[in-house]
Amino acid sequence: MKDNNYVLIGYMGAGKTTVGKALAKETGKKFLDTDSLIVKQMNLSINDIFEKYGEDYFRDLETKLIMNLCESANDCVISCGGGLPMREENRTYLKRLGKVVYLNVNETDILKRLKNDTTRPLLRGPKEEVKIRIHDMIEKRDPLYREAADVVIKTGRHKVNEVVSKIIKE
């Protein structure tokens, strides 16, 4: 494991980007975000990639990216798309990449945060259906996030700087 990188994982809306940017600033590391890197590489939004090429294609892009970051990323905070740790292969790369921190938020807070989201293809559809989908995804993903993580941080309603301090102390 590289000990100079932090890797943030967790469900959509867990605050990986916000916390990641603050953590990078506090530690003087570079901030990277897998979604943003893929958007830049493809010159398409995440919604458009899913629509044009399908989810599997997006997941392959994630795997290639995380594999490459294992070689290239040093002194970075890397925020990962919520679905990235679902592939077993990716979990191996994450461990190699750095200290993996799972930002854990409860379902009620996740629902609140994602209520009006239009940027995430997996949250499209009628509200009630989306709610059930989120519930099922959290149940399915939580054990895999835990398996991938070196540290689990409950973020709940804590302030960003408190979460950052907790991560640094771990």
Contact residues toward ligand S3P (CB under 6 A) are 12, 16, 35, 46, 81-83, 120-122
Beta carbon nearer to ligand S3P, 13 or 98: 13
Which residue in the block uniquely carries the two structure tokens 């570079």? 30
For residue 98, the one-letter residue type is G
Min separation Cβ 111 and ligand S3P, Å: 14
For residue 147, the one-letter residue type is E
Q: Which helix (H) or strand (E) holds 164?
A: helix 160-169
Cα–Cα distances (Å) from 105 to 15, 59, 130, 131, in that order, read 9, 23, 18, 16
Cα–Cα distances (Å) from 98 to 28, 57, 73, 150, 158, in that order, read 16, 25, 9, 9, 24
**Which 3 state secondary structure label does DSSP give 6?**
strand
Beta carbon nearer to ligand S3P, 39 or 70: 39
Beta carbon nearer to ligand S3P, 15 or 98: 15
Beta carbon nearer to ligand S3P, 28 or 90: 90
Beta carbon nearer to ligand S3P, 28 or 39: 39
Min separation Cβ 71 and ligand S3P, Å: 22
Min separation Cβ 59 and ligand S3P, Å: 9
Min separation Cβ 151 and ligand S3P, Å: 18
**Which 3 state secondary structure label does DSSP give 19?**
helix
Min separation Cβ 137 and ligand S3P, Å: 7
